[in-house]
Homo-oligomer: A and B are copies of this chain.
């Protein structure tokens, strides 16, 4: 049955075409300002057709997010392999976060602006999908931290899972700050770039095992 295969492929292509259209529109106009009608028009389909491929507008959002996470995660795996010890691997991860956010500012904006609300009302099926994705990449961080604890490059007085969550949460929120934080940059006389680039220097002492001055030298890896 080659026909069934072809249909399957076509269906997958359609799905991707819809995601592409939605992504493009969400990025340029914001999730909240794009209607399903507009997305349908962009892919040259009827509105109802979208609902054959995605359960809701929210689901479309999560399809975009998950495609991005996958892309981000796969590259992270490759990059982290080059770290020579646990601490370096974490540094590489942080660098990759920064690099990715700088290369994809629209994605980041969308995710931080609308993510909280949409994750809160996420439906069980999408929740499972997102959970699987994070289960796929979280272990990487844990391994790196455990490795760092063993090789003496990372502090050993905190649960590795906990340390991993702090690092990821902080990095994520620095590279893609809430609109409310963003607003206060100007008032503080701080540029977003400085805020991002100084993160390693700020955060290093809370991650590394080494005393302060060595830590400062160690974070030179962050400077280009």
Please report A residues at the B interface, Cβ cutoff 8 Å.
30, 32, 112-117, 119-122, 127, 130-131, 134-135, 138, 155, 157-159, 161-166, 169-170, 173-174, 177-181, 183-185, 187-190, 194-195, 198-199, 201-206, 211-212, 216
Contacts and interface: CB of A to CB of B under 8 A. Distances in A.
Copies in the complex: 2
Nearest to A198: B162
Nearest to A191: B162
Contacts of A166: 174, 199, 202
Contacts of A135: 187
A62 B74 CA distance: 40
A205 B127 CA distance: 35
B158 A202 contact: yes
Given A114-B116, A120-B113, A127-B183, A161 B177 contact: no
A131 to B, nearest CB: 6
27 contacts: A30-B120, A32-B117, A32-B121, A112-B116, A113-B116, A113-B120, A116-B116, A116-B179, A117-B117, A117-B179, A119-B178, A119-B179, A131-B184, A134-B184, A138-B187, A155-B205, A157-B216, A158-B202, A159-B190, A159-B194, A162-B202, A165-B185, A165-B188, A165-B190, A165-B195, A166-B174, A211-B211
A161 to B, nearest CB: 5
Contacts of A177: 169
Contact of A130 (B113, B173, B183): B183
A119 to B, nearest CB: 4
A177 B120 CA distance: 11
Nearest to A135: B187
A165 to B, nearest CB: 6
Contacts of A169: 173-174, 177, 181
B161 A190 contact: yes
A202 B158 CA distance: 8
A135 to B, nearest CB: 6
A181 B189 CA distance: 29
A195 B162 contact: yes
A139 to B, nearest CB: 11
